[in-house]
Structure 1
Amino acid sequence: MKVLEGIRVLDFGRFIAGPFCAALLADFGADVIRIDRVGGSEDRFVAPVTSEGEGAFFLQVNRNKRSITLDLDSEEGRAVVRKLLLDTDVVVANMPPRTIAALGLDYESLRKVKPDIILTASSAFGADPAVRDRVGFDGVGQAMSGAVHLTGLPDHPMKSMVPVVDFSTALCCALGTMMALYERKSSGQGQEVGASLLHTALTLSSGSLIEEALRGLNRQATVNRSPTYGPSDIFRVKDGWIIAQVIGPAMFKRWTRMMGRPELLDDPRFADDAMRGEHGEVLSDIMSDWCASRTREEALAMLEDARIPGGPVNTPRQALEDEVVRASGAFHGVDYPGAAAQVPLVATPVSLSRTAPAIARRPPTAGEHTEEVLRDAGYAAGEIAVLRERGVI
């Protein structure tokens, strides 16, 4: 039996933070129904990879779900939602509170229909009236948190090109949803689970924020070099690039031995992690000279022998083909209509030994399960036909 078997989720989420939260619940057995716009919602078609235009991130964050299409702007569409709510445990929606309220998906409206409902609603900036209606995406959270300032070149801030804040917010939402479901077992009551891209981004940047608050260092970007320990940088080898990270005295001692530079242990510039970070440019230059005469395979093998964390800087193609990545069981291939090859979905990032998650269903096409879901909710064939004729589904 799956952990969340018997739990029904209505997923109104868009893009990543909401949909990936719902996907994680589905991986552990929840019956997740994605509510698409008629014709397919906008997040379905970002970075298209199939003949029908479905996007890469859409496929990753919508596995294990069923899809119905529904016109939420119509009263008939909202009536369908209210009927589906009667057999629903969790509603997921990552939209500004104003939008959620306008669609009748705010917590007070939902609990009138289903008193023990759980609403998981992430937003850009949180629920405070001063900020709740502002719109924002992953990159905005990264930029406002201080992270972008510390990344890249001193005169050219750079954000991460992967949506770290969106996915991290989804993980927080999944955790909050599980907490609410657990608490409901004893109280019998639902509640609203909240999260925001901004607070997630600030959490990811919290070490730098606390350091600045207490020490006022006004740190600037150091490209890929860590300012707080070292050597920690990205280094060019004969056939590409690698990353290596040295933290703590024991690891630094092993690194000096590998470099053939034992005298560095007695150099006061490298007395502890903080000093090694402060003089990290010197250490990076030594490591760069060492790397320049070695291939990626040679350098990484020596780092592994010295028990120093290191890895290749992979292109996306190299990441797909990396033997370590593949051996980790990272990918789950699924067939999808219109895809030229199997879609390599990344497996659930958390595992349980006895009640393991699974990707058992490919991502749905738009409205693929509309009739099935409506029949389960008690709609007769004639009623479904009328809804389709009127453009509600």
Structure 2
Amino acid sequence: MTIPASSPGAPPLLEGVRVLDFGRYIAGPYCAALLGDLGADVIRIERVEGGEDRRVPPVLASGEGGMFLQLNRNKRCLTLDLASAEGRRIVEQLVDTADVVVANLPPDTLRSLGLDYPTLSARNPRVVLASVTAFGTQGPSARQAGFDSVGQAMSGAMFLSGLPDAPARTAATWVDFGTAQACAMGALAALWTRERTGRGQCVEGSLLQTALVHTNGALIEQALLAKNRVPQGNRGYLAGPSDVIRARDGWLIVQTIGQAMFGRWCDLVGQPAMKSDPRFANDELRGQNGEAISAVMREWCATRSRDEVLAALAGCKIPAAPVHDLQQVLEDEQIQANGMLQSQRFGAQSYPVSRHPVVMSDTPVEFSRAAPALGEHTDEILAELGYTVEQVEALRARKLV
């Protein structure tokens, strides 16, 4: 189904909602960015000298990083010395106007900054706090910091993704992004509930909990059947062929599930007898004997181009795709046809940003702002709070903004 363009003049879903973003790196900032895509007024509060995540990894002459450019679209930027009394007063004034506060900071840091939920709700009972921890709020690791990789490691994902001699971390930070998406969904649910109760609430996400969602099926199998699966690289556990295969001129991934699909694959590669081989009688057995199936696929692909292989698999309705390098991703016709990467500008330079994960038929979900320069909107935001030009200049002279 093709999603039509949003209705002309339709207001953004979160028009009139204000979000204060104290997040850093990925989980917090992306949660706030998702709300900004939906039309919220998102204010990124950043240190006067710039946040530690602004330059990760540096890609522009001015120092801004690729991750920063992605995660801070649709935001205004206010620089502020949060350690100062004046900075605290400005935060309190902003909290009075806020609907959502996003902060992936340790609990002790939240309390020291007055951003913990009891403090926020005492000042503004309607505010929603979306917070992220690495390991959850209870237990021996609750106060420890962590990044995406801790979720990958502790959930079993890193173990299963590796080879028998070593686990493997996935370069894509799916734990961070998954946590951000879950927290954004929780914030939306809390805003909806507030319409009935009049009160906000605390929405808590954790990297470890998100990662466990992704490995939960394997954990259920382990708890009930004690399969004690071991890592086997790119080859799938539950069917075959399910593997990364090299064609004559490049890599591709193929995955079959179910008897009908396996039968079509057998006919395609000229091995109809495999359909009656007892080693391959069902998906579970094909997973257990997957190396034999992958060997057939490797031999069949070795003399064919990748495009030829992919076209043949598509003709048999067998899921497959090329394994792209990063430049090939940028040039992919399917990605371009759906506008999945949208051009943004920072100063004179343009760059591609992955659009919001969903498209809505009647409500605009779009990029209205590129990532902000450091302190780009400080004067504008303080003026909205009632500060005069002279007062802002006095704060700037003292390096408080």
Distance 1:132 1:30 in 2: 31
- The SS at the match of 2:157 is coil
How does 1:327-346 map onto structure 2 within 5 Å?
327-337=337-347, 339=349, 342-346=350-354
- The SS at the match of 1:195 is strand
Distance 1:296 1:158 in 2: 26
Question: 1:116 Cα deviation (Å)?
Answer: 0.9
Is 1:349 aligned with 2:368? no
Of 163, 169, 189, which aligns to 2:199?
A: 189
How does 1:117-156 map onto structure 2 within 5 Å?
117-128=127-138, 130-156=140-166
TM-score between both structures, scaled by the size of structure 1: 0.98
- The SS at the match of 1:209 is helix
1:388 aligns with: 396
Residue identity over aligned pairs, in percent, reads: 50
Question: 1:130 Cα deviation (Å)?
Answer: 3.5
- The SS at the match of 2:373 is coil
Structure 2 residue identity aligned to 1:86 = D
Question: 1:332 Cα deviation (Å)?
Answer: 0.8
Distance 2:43 2:168 in 1: 37
Question: 1:338 Cα deviation (Å)?
Answer: 6.0
Of 364, 376, 385, which aligns to 1:368?
A: 376
1:28 aligns with: 38
1:325-355 Cα distance to aligned partner (Å, 9 max, x none): 211211110111263xx11001111111110
- The SS at the match of 1:149 is helix
- 1:96·1:123 contact (CA, 8 Å) conserved in 2? yes
2:48 aligns with: 38
Is 1:378 aligned with 2:386? yes
Is 1:206 aligned with 2:234? no
- The SS at the match of 1:35 is strand
Question: 1:249 Cα deviation (Å)?
Answer: 1.2
- RMSD in angstroms over aligned alpha carbons? 1.0
1:110 aligns with: 120
Of 273, 281, 285, which aligns to 1:271?
A: 281
Distance 1:74 1:248 in 2: 63
Distance 2:167 2:256 in 1: 25
Distance 1:387 1:129 in 2: 42
1:241-289 Cα distance to aligned partner (Å, 9 max, x none): 0000001111111111111111111111111111110000000000011
Bigger mean CA deviation after superposition, 189-198 or 202-211: 202-211
Distance 1:129 1:370 in 2: 40
- Alignment gaps of 5+ in structure 2: 1-10
**Paired residues, number:** 391
1:105-153 Cα distance to aligned partner (Å, 9 max, x none): 0001111221111000011011115332111110111011111111121
1:52-92 Cα distance to aligned partner (Å, 9 max, x none): 11111111111010001011111111110001111110000
Distance 1:174 1:344 in 2: 23
Distance 1:247 1:273 in 2: 7
Distance 2:279 2:388 in 1: 78
- The SS at the match of 2:54 is helix
Distance 1:381 1:231 in 2: 67
Distance 1:312 1:325 in 2: 13
1:128-185 Cα distance to aligned partner (Å, 9 max, x none): 1533211111011101111111112110111101101000000000100000000000
Is 1:254 aligned with 2:275? no
Structure 2 residue identity aligned to 1:56 = G
- 1:52·1:338 contact (CA, 8 Å) conserved in 2? no
- 1:34·1:68 contact (CA, 8 Å) conserved in 2? yes
Q: Find runs of 4+ consecutive structure 1 residues off by over 4 angstroms.
A: none
How does 1:151-230 map onto structure 2 within 5 Å?
151-230=161-240
- 1:148·1:157 contact (CA, 8 Å) conserved in 2? yes
- 1:50·1:337 contact (CA, 8 Å) conserved in 2? no
1:233 aligns with: 243
Distance 1:315 1:128 in 2: 41
Structure 1 residue identity aligned to 2:144 = R
Structure 2 residue identity aligned to 1:293 = T
Distance 1:349 1:325 in 2: 13
Structure 1 residue identity aligned to 2:179 = T
Structure 2 residue identity aligned to 1:331 = L
Question: 1:215 Cα deviation (Å)?
Answer: 1.2
Distance 2:212 2:156 in 1: 8
1:11 aligns with: 21
1:199-225 Cα distance to aligned partner (Å, 9 max, x none): 001111111111111111211111100
Question: 1:373 Cα deviation (Å)?
Answer: 0.4
Is 1:294 aligned with 2:309? no
Structure 2 residue identity aligned to 1:241 = W
Question: 1:356 Cα deviation (Å)?
Answer: 2.8
Distance 2:112 2:97 in 1: 22
